[in-house]
Amino acid sequence: MTSHSKQSAGSGGETPQARGRRARRSGVQAERDVVKFWEDNGFQANRKRLVGGMEGNKWGEDVLVHIPVLGTISLEVKLRQKGQDGGKRYQQWLEGVDCLFVRAKGDTQWYAYMKADFLVEILKVQETQRKEILRLNGLLSKSVTEEMYS
């Protein structure tokens, strides 16, 4: 057997290079699915086409989503085997991005993981906007309006 035709035991006859190509194709498709998820929900999103760390990209910026009141948020996208727990890896994947989108292979439901501080930031922005809408519609009392702008 020549060196370029060696296969790993237990790989189902697939070379490490073939497994790597399959994983990359699967990851790219997952990123496209996340972009479609955001677009279907009325947000502008795009997939980063360069490998993380190249040409100024932060490591892990797979997808960028523009949220009008927040600006652009960065997402890391991962596919996991069913029943596979991310645990400590989720924390590592969240470094440098705002949110981690995870889906089990063969599943249709995405799950979003984020740092609690980022969730609080989102909720504060939402609450400020809610109060502003009420103020503009004359539904907030003068004392609440003054408190907002003090």
Residue 86, φ and ψ in degrees, nearest 5: -85, -35
60's CB contacts (< 8 A; 6+ apart) are 52, 74, 76, 93, 95, 96, 97
pLDDT averaged over every residue in the chain? 77
Higher pLDDT, 105 or 47: 47
Cα 101 from Cα 107, distance rounded (Å): 13
Tokens linked to 95 = 């470094």
CATH code of 3-114, in short, is 3.40.1350
How much of the chain, in percent, has pLDDT values that exceed 90? 15
Which residues neighbour 32 within 8 Å (Cβ) at sequence distance 6 or greater? 47
Sheet bearing 44-47, strands edge to edge: 44-47, 63-67, 71-80, 99-104, 111-114
pLDDT confidence bin for 34, thresholds 50/70/90: very high
Under 8 Å between Cβ of 148 and 131: yes
Question: Is the model's pLDDT at 57 over the cut of 50?
Answer: no
pLDDT digits (tens, 9 = 90+) for 89-116: 888 888 888 989 888 888 888 888 898 8
Q: Per-residue pLDDT tens for 60-90? A: 678 999 988 788 988 889 887 666 666 678 8
Rounded to an integer, what is the distance from CA 70 to the centroid of its chain?
15
Domain residue ranges in the chain? 3-114, 116-150
Q: What is the pLDDT of residue 119?
A: 86
Contact residues for 97 (Cβ-Cβ < 8 A; gap 6+): 58, 60, 61, 74, 75, 76
Q: What angle do CA 110, 111, 117 make, to 5 degrees?
A: 145
